[in-house]
């Protein structure tokens, strides 16, 4: 297997660094990639390139939205051409099954297509009732240079919830992807040049959060930080950005609950809950990590869910049939196994799973069996903390009020699910749930048109939809004396 070598991508070219970061496969331990390790100086060079590209209005920020849309579309055509290659890189670096990596690459393209279309219709207003001698224009201007910091779980999708929207708005960007999974970000940045997107519009500096991330959030030439990652790092970024009144967009952690009422369609609820807790090995911000089940159907439902979980196929990234892959690294696997031990110690009942998997060629990777706990109470750690692994905590409830109280009993507020055939009840419960997304009789749906983001400590601002584009604009009111 050849090891992919990458430099930093600055001003339309590769830049080597003295130090590098090695990425080995979380699924079988083989070396995969060597990323350049940037520092403050390289962040400075990348921001300077992005600033120069932004300030030269004739190449990107000041050209018609339709021209930016065409350039983004040409770029997406190259990503379509290279889908298999990009998906393979993503599957290998994250450790996820290839069919999911393919689907996610296609989803990133879909986000890009939608954002390109929005470039034609960035809204503005003419205000003509402020007196005969005045005319008002409300316009939206691109925010400027955007620093984007992304996580390792969905490298392309988390990037594409930001990048094409910022480009459509007329911004230029410096991206700091996760140091574990930077391959696809660097690849698409290079494809942008092939598509004719001007040099300096997209720059990528790889390296650690402590050096590159901090340099980016502290750089006065960056107008906004758009971040996806943990709530702990999100808070740190918000504090640093406040010093310079930098704009921030924060997509952070979650602890979603699925509330299943006795009158739900049980088969589809089982499907949704099983999919919701194992997708991406549970390394998913809207993972359905808590199941709140009405007491009268709990025993039977858990039995069926355990049966379904036995059929989940765990495999290497190139296993076309696999449902679940490897966790991102050994330390993270140990953390997930630690949460499982804590669940047992605090008195939850382990229904299935709970262990590392090493048979059938998985011995060199970080695989954890799909795990279900019943008898979980709101005081328990596995009910409260984001585990980020294939672990489901099941709690029973007696009334809708109790279910709502349990669901909202968390600092997070990204997503929740409600399962019932009674549409009135579904709507009433949805209204009470404190989360940016609510799924009714389905789970983990996504649409490019629907805004996505968190209440409470799950974030600030929205991605996707027109809201996602407007995040990358500033509003200007112009009064014209007639
Ligand atoms: P993380 O917060 O550890 O890292 C995210 C990124 O921030 C990485 O690129 C990292 O290098 C960088 N970083 C770390 N410290 C930094 C600092 N001090 N300054 C600037 N940048 C810094 O998160 P992770 O482990 O990569 O990803 C998992 C987390 O991401 C989970 O909490 C998950 O819920 C969240 N997530 C949220 C969404 C969403 O849309 N809400 C989507 C995916 C993942």
Element (H, E) at 20: strand 20-24
The alpha carbon of 358 and the centre of ligand 1 are apart by a number of angstroms equal to 28
383 lines ligand 1 (CB under 6 A): no
Q: Are strands 13-15 and 356-357 parallel, antiparallel or unpaired?
A: unpaired
3-state secondary structure 211-253: HHHHHHHHCCCCCEEEEECCHHHHHHHHHHHHHCCCEEEEECC
Distance CA 330, CA 374 (A): 26
233 lines ligand 1 (CB under 6 A): yes
Nearest-atom index, ligand 1, CA of 229: 30
Contact of 228 with 261, CB cutoff 8 Å: no
**pLDDT recorded at residue 320:** 96
The string of pLDDT tens digits covering residues 132-172 is 999 999 999 999 999 999 999 999 999 999 999 999 999 99
Q: What is the pLDDT of residues 224-244, one digit of tens each?
A: 999 999 999 999 999 999 999
State whether ipTM is beyond 0.95.
Answer: yes
Phi, psi for residue 204 in degrees, rounded to 5: -130, 125
Distance 149 CA to ligand 1 centre (A): 8
* Residue 87 CB neighbours (<10 A): 23
Task: Give residue-wise pLDDT tens across range 48-77.
Answer: 999 999 999 999 999 999 999 999 999 999
Work out the average pLDDT over 82-108: 98
Nearest protein CA to atom 37 of ligand 1, as residue: 252
DSSP secondary-structure letter at 6? -
- pLDDT value for 189: 98
Output the CA torsion 374→375→379→384 (10° steps). 10
Q: Which is the closest atom of ligand 1 to the Cα of 236? A: 18
Q: Which pLDDT score, from 0 to 100, does residue 298 have? A: 98
- Indicate which residue of 251, 284, 351, 386 is catalytic: 251
- Spatial distance between the Cα atoms of 266 and 7, rounded to a whole number of angstroms: 51
Is pLDDT at 356 greater than 90 in this prediction? yes
> Is the distance from CB of 455 to CB of 432 less than 8 angstroms?
no
Is residue 385 among the annotated active site residues?
Answer: no
- Among the listed residues 413, 419, 454, 448, the one whose alpha carbon sits nearest the alpha carbon of residue 434: 413
Q: 185-188: long-range contacts (C-beta < 8 A, 24 or more apart)?
A: 185/150, 185/155, 185/156, 185/159, 186/6, 186/9, 186/35, 187/82, 187/85, 187/86, 187/89, 188/75, 188/79, 188/86, 188/156, 188/159
Name which residue sits closest to atom 30 of ligand 1, judged by CA. Answer: 229
256 lines ligand 1 (CB under 6 A): no
Whether the CB of 386 sits within 6 Å of ligand 1: yes
Ligand 1 near 140 CB (within 6 A): no
According to the model, what pLDDT value does residue 104 have? Answer: 98
Region 319-331: mean pLDDT is: 97
Annotated active-site residue 251? The verdict is yes
Quick one: pLDDT at residue 80? 98
From 94, 205, 229, give the residue whose CB has the most ligand 1 atoms within 8 Å, as the site to mutate. 229
H/E element, 404: helix 400-408
Please compute the mean of the pLDDT values over residues 254-262 and round it to a whole number: 98
Q: What is the pLDDT of residue 471?
A: 98
pLDDT, average across residues 304-333: 97
Distance between start and end Cα atoms, the chain = 70
Beta carbons of 276 and 417 less than 8 angstroms apart = yes
- Angle, helices 423-432 vs 400-408, to 10°: value is 30
Q: Which residues contact 184 (CB under 8 A, 6 or more apart)?
A: 86, 89, 90, 93, 105, 155, 156, 159
Closest atom of ligand 1 relative to the 178 alpha carbon: 9
| pLDDT classification of 447: cutoffs 50, 70, 90 | very high
Catalytic choice (104, 171, 285, 386): 285
The mean pLDDT value of the chain amounts to 98
- Give the model confidence (pLDDT) of 448-482 as tens digits: 999 999 999 999 999 999 999 999 999 999 999 99
DSSP annotation string for 253-290? ----EEEE-TTS-HHHHHHHHHHHHHGGGG--TT---E
151 lines ligand 1 (CB under 6 A): yes
Q: CA 445 → CA 312, 412, 462, distances in Å?
A: 20, 19, 16
pLDDT band at 1 (very low <50, low <70, confident <90, very high): confident
Nearest CA-CA partner of 322 in 63, 78, 101, 89: 101
Is the CB of 464 within 6 Å of ligand 1? Answer: no
Give, using CA atoms, the residue closest to atom 14 of ligand 1: 209
> Which of 96, 151, 385 to probe ligand 1 with, by most ligand atoms within 8 A of CB?
151
Distance 238 CA to ligand 1 centre (A): 13
- CA 339 vs. chain centroid, Å, equals 23
How many angstroms separate the alpha carbon of residue 174 from the centre of ligand 1? Answer: 16
CA–centroid distance, residue 471 to ligand 1 (Å): 19
């Amino acid at each position: 297997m050849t090891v992919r070598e990458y430099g930093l991508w600055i001003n339309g070219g590769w830049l080597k660094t003295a130090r590098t970061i090695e990425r080995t496969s979380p699924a079988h331990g083989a070396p995969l990639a060597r990323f350049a390790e940037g520092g403050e100086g390289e962040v400075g060079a990348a921001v300077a390139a992005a600033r120069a590209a932004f300030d030269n209005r004739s190449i990107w920020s000041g050209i018609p939205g339709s021209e930016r849309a065409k350039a983004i579309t040409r770029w997406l055509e190259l990503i379509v051409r290279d889908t298999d290659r990009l998906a393979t890189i993503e599957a290998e670096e994250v450790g996820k099954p290839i069919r999911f990596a393919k689907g996610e690459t296609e989803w990133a393209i879909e986000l890009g297509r939608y954002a390109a279309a929005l470039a034609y219709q960035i809204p503005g207003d003419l205000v003509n009732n402020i007196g005969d001698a005045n005319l008002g224009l409300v316009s939206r201007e691109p925010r400027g240079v955007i620093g984007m910091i992304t996580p390792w779980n969905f490298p392309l999708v988390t990037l594409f919830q930001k990048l094409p929207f910022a480009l459509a708005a007329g911004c230029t960007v410096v991206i700091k992807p996760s140091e574990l999974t930077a391959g696809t970000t660097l690849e698409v940045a290079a494809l942008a040049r092939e598509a004719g997107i001007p040099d300096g519009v997209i720059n990528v500096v790889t390296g650690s959060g402590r050096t590159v991330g901090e340099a980016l959030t502290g750089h006065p030439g960056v107008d906004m930080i758009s971040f996806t990652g943990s709530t702990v790092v999100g808070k740190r970024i918000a504090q640093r950005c406040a010093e310079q009144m930098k704009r921030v967009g924060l997509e952070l952690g979650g602890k979603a609950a699925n509330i299943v009422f006795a009158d739900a369609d049980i088969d589809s609820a089982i499907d949704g809950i099983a999919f919701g807790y194992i997708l991406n090995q549970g390394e998913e911000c809207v993972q359905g990590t808590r199941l709140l089940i009405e007491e009268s159907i709990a025993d039977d439902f858990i039995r069926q869910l355990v049966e379904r979980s036995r059929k989940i196929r765990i495999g290497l990234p190139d296993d076309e049939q696999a449902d679940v892959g490897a966790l991102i690294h050994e330390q993270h696997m140990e953390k997930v196994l630690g949460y499982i031990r804590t669940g047992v110690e605090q008195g939850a009942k382990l229904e299935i799973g709970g262990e590392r998997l090493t048979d059938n060629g998985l011995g060199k990777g970080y695989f954890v069996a799909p795990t279900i706990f019943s008898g979980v109470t709101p005081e328990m750690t596995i009910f409260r903390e984001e585990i980020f692994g294939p672990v489901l905590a099941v709690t029973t409830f007696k009334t809708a009020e109790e279910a709502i109280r349990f669901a909202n009993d968390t600092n997070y507020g990204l997503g929740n699910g409600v399962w019932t055939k009674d549409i009135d009840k579904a709507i009433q419960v949805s209204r009470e749930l404190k989360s940016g997304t609510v799924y009714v009789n389905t789970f983990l749906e996504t649409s490019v048109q629907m805004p996505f983001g968190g209440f409470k400590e799950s974030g600030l601002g929205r991605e996707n939809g027109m809201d996602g584009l407007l995040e990358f604009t500033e509003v200007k009111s112009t009064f014209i004396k007639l």
